[in-house]
Every structure is written in C-alpha cells, then in structure tokens.
Homo-oligomer: A and B are copies of this chain.
C-alpha cells in the first residue's frame, strides 16, 4: 500500500463497457498507476492503443503484483476468476467486482487467503451498447456506485475503496448485499427480462415490415434488449431466487390486465398506478 492510500497497480479483468470505462477513468485520475487489463488479445491491443491500459494480457498471472483487482467480466466468470486469484496475487491486495448481483460473488470470495480482501461493488452506470468501443472516462460521473461490504470487511479497506470510487467520479452508496439483490431484481433484472421477452415477441409476431410501423414507444421500451446475452444469463442465473418471484408478479399483473380487457373492464386503475410510480423515477 502506498503512503497516500492510492492504488499503484490496478488490474481490470474484462475490458468491456464497464472495465474499459474504468480503465480510461483511472488513467485520467491516476496517471502514474499501472493499469493491467485482462481480456482477449484483440481487446487489450486496442485498449492499449487507446491509452486505457499500460499492460494487456490474456493471462491472470499478469496481475501478480496488483494491489487492486476489479472483476468486470460476466458474474459467473468473475466467480471463476476469484477462485484463481488466491494462487496468483502476491498481495496484500483489495479485490472488488462490478457485477449486477452481489451474493454469489461474495460467497465465492470466502475462499480467498487472508492477504486478499474482497468488497463487492456495482456501478449503476451503463448503456444498452456494450463493449470497449462504447467506453468513456466519464461513464461513472455522478452515478451511484453501490458497495456491499459485510460484517467481516475491514474498515480501512472499505475506506480505500470508497475513496477510489469517488476519485473516478461516482457517488459511493454502501448497502447490504442481500438487499441489493432483492431491489435490483425489480429495478434492473425484471425490466431487462420484460424488455427482451417483449422484443422477441414483437419481432417474431410482426417481422421487419411490422417493426417499421413503430414509434419511440417501442424503441424506448426495448432499448435494453440490445444488451449482450451472456451478461444477463449470469445475472439472472445468480439471482434466480429473487428474480423468480419478481417475474411471477409481472406475469400476474399482465394476467389481470388480460382478464380486465377480455371482460371489457377498465384497465385505467393499473395505468394510473404506473403513472404515479413513473413520476418518481429519475
């Protein structure tokens, strides 16, 4: 650990939208730090050419001297990497992730040796377009960055991570990992499932000629359906116990609407409830 508390060698596993944007932000804020990106050769070559990375490698062993590792691959890949880091990092080092579910990765972190400290994280920043090419240094500016320490987390490590998150422009918000997974099942995972199911049904039902007869409503409602499938398989798969009841509630509400329409009853009360809640979404 450096005298000023800043990290000197920052590893980023997965140089997509979030990992790439974080690399750009770190290079801007901490120009003296080494930024080691782990991804395919083609990705890390481009990221080095763009100045996002100082080192690029396919090989986790490039992280041996890192004092901070950020796991920014799909959740189940993060978990697989986590199980290998104990044998790679010379440590002491802090490990965090940027995955959209928090409990499964926290569980996997229990096997880390004592010189490595894990604290889960989740920046609420993103875009329907993924990949390094959509990355930008200001992606996290003024966005919430959720941190999910637990009772065992050392206060000093948490304070360093909070300072790091602030340095890249985000607003740290500390919450409980289980509460995170419960709330995000509704505010993120269910909207994604609804948008993807809707886009699939609309496309299969009316095809490309039908899609031409659409306005901004369909475009807005299905925007996140452009997101990469592997990311969302892992998110929903590692939060199924929360996502399933959320899905059941949505299916139940759609069935209620269906019954009301079939009986020519008013659907206005549900639409009015939705309108009231929508006014509270930023």
Contact = CB atoms under 8 A, between A and B. Distances in A.
Interface stretch (A1-9, A26-34, A107-115, A223-231): A223-231
From A182, A186, A192, residue with most partner B Cβ within 10 Å = A186
A90 interface: no
A79 to B, nearest CB: 15
A18 B199 CA distance: 27
Given A211-B280, A253-B200, A261 B237 contact: yes
A282 to B, nearest CB: 7
Contact of A215 (B125, B213, B232, B251): B125
Contacts of A216: 126-127
A237 to B, nearest CB: 6
Nearest to A249: B201
Nearest to A222: B278
Contacts of A249: 201, 205
A199 B210 CA distance: 26
21 contacts: A127-B216, A173-B213, A186-B206, A187-B211, A191-B198, A197-B250, A198-B250, A200-B273, A201-B249, A201-B250, A201-B253, A202-B277, A203-B278, A219-B281, A221-B223, A221-B224, A225-B271, A226-B279, A229-B275, A233-B271, A254-B254
A181 to B, nearest CB: 11
Interface stretch (A41-49, A50-58, A151-159, A240-248): A240-248
